[in-house]
Chains A and B, each alone.
Chain A
């Protein structure tokens, strides 16, 4: 039987994602990929994978999954997400770490309270078919990932490995900052001249709130209305992830992973690539403040973010339980039975 994780309960919106589908935007195909690429990459590193392995992106409420494989190593990264093993002795094993699970064990990812998304990686990755070079789900188009859609109860998420490798579990003693209160940096334009001075001023001086009318395509922002100078139709041009487009209503929409490749509304500014993962994990109701930087600074900040990411990866260390015993080792060696991890 093929190794898989069986979806017992699907959670709110869980999709297979990777770093994105590049090379087809000229044909109108969105990039898609993880909303929070940093979380996706860390989940992979925790599980022992390369950055590009497909993970499960979980929005708000995680799925309940059953192991249909000899064993599987899972890693979770993002906010306060924790892996909860179910069964006779249900318990939480914490987040930002890997866990070894055995056949027929059921587990779930806890409800998120401080971020919108987290990532579940499995050692070896999910063995979904690549579509146009990527495993990312583009649900609107109905392709990529698992049948082009979010998980449903009864789905089997295929695993590339039949069993986990023999190694210690990895984790981060201290999770990286979520950037929840950090101002979001943007570069003005490309169509900032379509807006009034007051609109440009409001963008960087007022607080916005993430609307509940947000999805993987775009995040609507409640806050001051951004007035156009005259007219809000432009001849369509290309869109970068992070572009803030402003339709006739004056309510800005921050475009995320599944954004359309071209559009006909003026874009007042573009969030810098270093801050896309930070924005991607903000949830409805969260505040957003913007601050403007120039292109050279945006590029420098991106390089700095990459250095920060590598520093977090360098802090990954074997997870040890109380008494300095590696609980997962004991578990793996069958020295003790059942789930023995402490809630450390």
Chain B
């Protein structure tokens, strides 16, 4: 079952989606397996042997109009990124297309606080927005077959980090040394929908140091709890 709140990418819509996700989880409705928040809708997976859509619609409508305060735990993450050219295969090209210098692109990207709209595409892949207007570009004309994990990418109004090696059509403007998906821990993704993310430029020495610690699972980026 899908509860749709709109048909576009919008912070207000996202807040409604995430609000309902939190309410459905808290209500622990019989037969609901799990919920998946997306940009514009909430997917409610249910077990038809334990409930029926007619009942579920009633329960969810009640939650939609509920005014009770929610304890939504959100975190602000600070993610180190190396924007040096060999860590950023598309940075020069993005600079050219946006008529900025690579340094300006990196500064604009790192100078914005992003909202995690949803996690999808591949395990742990965070869709974060919105990019500063000056950095908005369509996807690459020729998608890559292999994008290395940790690549920090932009396309349209969004930025993301590739958690695993996967195909990808976004512009790669940096690399983070941290691990954002680890199936050995629960939850496996570092960021949850609704979290906030800021990037911090680091040099190659810091990158090497942090990556080595991250590979030993001894590094976790700084984060603080945000008010709901």
A interface residues with partner B (beta carbon < 8 Å)? 22-30, 131-133, 138, 140-144, 190, 234-240, 260-263, 273, 295-296, 298-299, 302-303, 306
Question: Nearest chain-B residue to A21 (Cβ)?
Answer: B183
List, sorted by A's number, 8 A–B pairs whose CB atoms are closer than 8 Å.
Answer: A22-B45, A23-B34, A26-B37, A28-B121, A132-B183, A238-B42, A262-B36, A262-B118
* A91 to B125 CA separation, bound complex (whole angstroms): 50
Asked whether A25 lies within 8 Å of B45 as measured between CB atoms, the reply is yes
B33 partner residues in chain A, CB cutoff 8 A? 22-23
* A143 to B181 CA separation, bound complex (whole angstroms): 12
* A30 to B38 CA separation, bound complex (whole angstroms): 15
* A299 to B37 CA separation, bound complex (whole angstroms): 24
Given contacts A22-B33, A235-B8, contact A27 B121 (CB under 8 A): no
Given contacts A27-B189, A273-B48, contact A22 B183 (CB under 8 A): no
A28 partner residues in chain B, CB cutoff 8 A? 119-125, 163, 181, 189
B163 partner residues in chain A, CB cutoff 8 A? 28
Given contacts A27-B123, A27-B192, A28-B120, contact A237 B38 (CB under 8 A): yes
The listed residue with most B CB atoms (<10 A of its CB), out of A234, A237, A273, is A237
* A26 to B186 CA separation, bound complex (whole angstroms): 12
Asked whether A237 lies within 8 Å of B188 as measured between CB atoms, the reply is no
B interface residues with partner A (beta carbon < 8 Å)? 2, 4, 7-9, 21, 33-43, 45, 48-49, 52-54, 118-125, 127, 163-164, 181, 183-184, 186-189, 192-193
Given contacts A237-B40, A240-B45, A302-B48, contact A262 B7 (CB under 8 A): no
A23 partner residues in chain B, CB cutoff 8 A? 33-34
Question: Nearest chain-A residue to B118 (Cβ)?
Answer: A262
A234 partner residues in chain B, CB cutoff 8 A? 7
8 closest A-B pairs by beta carbon, nearest first, are A238-B43, A262-B120, A27-B189, A143-B183, A302-B48, A238-B36, A299-B48, A28-B119
Given contacts A28-B120, A29-B188, A236-B127, contact A131 B183 (CB under 8 A): yes
A237 partner residues in chain B, CB cutoff 8 A? 2, 4, 38-41, 43
Question: Nearest chain-A residue to B183 (Cβ)?
Answer: A143
Asked whether B9 lies within 8 Å of A235 as measured between CB atoms, the reply is yes
Question: Nearest chain-B residue to A261 (Cβ)?
Answer: B120
* A2 to B52 CA separation, bound complex (whole angstroms): 45
Given contacts A24-B188, A27-B188, contact A298 B48 (CB under 8 A): yes
Given contacts A22-B34, A132-B188, A238-B2, contact A27 B43 (CB under 8 A): no
Given contacts A235-B40, A237-B40, A237-B43, contact A26 B34 (CB under 8 A): yes
Asked whether B53 lies within 8 Å of A25 as measured between CB atoms, the reply is no
A26 partner residues in chain B, CB cutoff 8 A? 21, 34-37, 119, 192-193
Given contacts A261-B36, A302-B48, A303-B49, contact A29 B41 (CB under 8 A): no
* A237 to B37 CA separation, bound complex (whole angstroms): 8
- Smallest CB separation, B162 vs chain A (Å): 12
* A238 to B46 CA separation, bound complex (whole angstroms): 13
A140 partner residues in chain B, CB cutoff 8 A? 122
A239 partner residues in chain B, CB cutoff 8 A? 43
Q: Of A260, A273, A306, which is within 8 A of B121 by CB?
A: A260
The listed residue with most B CB atoms (<10 A of its CB), out of A24, A27, A132, is A27
Question: Nearest chain-A residue to B25 (Cβ)?
Answer: A26
A273 partner residues in chain B, CB cutoff 8 A? 48
* A121 to B28 CA separation, bound complex (whole angstroms): 33
* A238 to B117 CA separation, bound complex (whole angstroms): 13
- Smallest CB separation, A242 vs chain B (Å): 12
A263 partner residues in chain B, CB cutoff 8 A? 120-121
A235 partner residues in chain B, CB cutoff 8 A? 7-9, 38-40
Given contacts A28-B189, A190-B2, contact A236 B39 (CB under 8 A): yes
* A144 to B2 CA separation, bound complex (whole angstroms): 28
B43 partner residues in chain A, CB cutoff 8 A? 25, 237-240
Question: Nearest chain-A residue to B51 (Cβ)?
Answer: A299
B164 partner residues in chain A, CB cutoff 8 A? 141-142
B9 partner residues in chain A, CB cutoff 8 A? 235
- Smallest CB separation, B221 vs chain A (Å): 17
* A263 to B127 CA separation, bound complex (whole angstroms): 12
* A133 to B187 CA separation, bound complex (whole angstroms): 11
Asked whether A24 lies within 8 Å of B187 as measured between CB atoms, the reply is yes
A302 partner residues in chain B, CB cutoff 8 A? 48-49
* A190 to B42 CA separation, bound complex (whole angstroms): 13
* A141 to B186 CA separation, bound complex (whole angstroms): 16
B124 partner residues in chain A, CB cutoff 8 A? 27-29
The listed residue with most B CB atoms (<10 A of its CB), out of A28, A30, A141, A235, is A28
B125 partner residues in chain A, CB cutoff 8 A? 28
- Smallest CB separation, A149 vs chain B (Å): 13
Question: Nearest chain-B residue to A131 (Cβ)?
Answer: B183
The listed residue with most A CB atoms (<10 A of its CB), out of B35, B38, B118, B124, is B38
Given contacts A131-B183, A236-B39, contact A299 B53 (CB under 8 A): yes
Asked whether A303 lies within 8 Å of B48 as measured between CB atoms, the reply is yes
